[in-house]
Amino acid sequence: MPTPLSLTIVPGINDSTAKHWQSRWQATQTDAVRIRPASWDDPDLQDWVGAVDAAVTTPDTIIVAHSLGCLAAAAWLAQNPGRVRGALLVAPPDRFGPRFPPAAPTFQTAEPEALGTPALVVASADDPFCALGTARTLAAVWGAGFVEVGSLGHINIASKLGDWPAGRALLDEFAESLAGMVR
């Protein structure tokens, strides 16, 4: 079921394949837009921030970011407070964690700061790319709400979530709360 707001999909490194929950959600939302950076495999933070900027075409948008995409979305949001209704930031990575992708060094420069837009960070208790405490700290610095969804790994294809109905319910509830907000 589509949300009452548009979606801007911001995948992580290497994009999200058709089996990823992000792609499945995009397929159910006719007005969803996916960012188009110059490279999914050799990501550059400024390029990805520019891709988010190009993809956001209406203020009635929720950014739905995963993994490395959370850092790009957060950097864009900090530069554009209030330009979208909100952001769902799923499984943000630890910029200095041992599993941070070596192909993405520019993302390590993305200092977390207040987003100026309602946001919700969704984290897994056993994410190999970010300890739960680090995700909780990111949410606090970003000024975002925080939801821990149990042990779902990196909340990706390896997590075998399919359409991830529980995540979609979080998105829909978040979207409904934002749709009712006066701008």
Q: Tens digit of pLDDT for each residue in 93-130?
A: 999 999 999 999 999 998 999 999 999 999 999 999 99
How confident is the model at residue 76, as a pLDDT? 98
Cα distance between the two ends of the chain: 24
pLDDT classification of 48: cutoffs 50, 70, 90:
very high
Q: What does the pLDDT average to over 163-172?
A: 95
Rounded to two decimals, the pTM is: 0.96
Q: What does the pLDDT average to over 45-62?
A: 96
Percent of the chain having pLDDT more than 70?
Answer: 96
Taking 90 as the threshold, does the pLDDT of residue 33 lie above it?
yes
Taking 60 as the threshold, does the pLDDT of residue 183 lie above it?
no
Query: How far apart (Å, rounded) are the C-alpha atoms in residues 8 and 127?
Result: 24
Taking 60 as the threshold, does the pLDDT of residue 1 lie above it?
no
Taking 60 as the threshold, does the pLDDT of residue 182 lie above it?
no
Confirm if 174 and 120 have CB atoms less than 8 A apart: yes
Class of domain 6-179: alpha beta
Burial class (CB in 10 A: 0-12, 13-18, 19+), 31: middle
Taking 90 as the threshold, does the pLDDT of residue 160 lie above it?
yes
How confident is the model at residue 3, as a pLDDT? 66
Which helix (H) or strand (E) segment holds residue 102: the answer is none
Strands 6-10 and 33-34 turn out to be: parallel
Q: What does the pLDDT average to over 43-57?
A: 97
Query: What rounded mean pLDDT belongs to the chain?
Result: 94
Tens of pLDDT, residue by residue over 10-21, are: 999 999 999 999
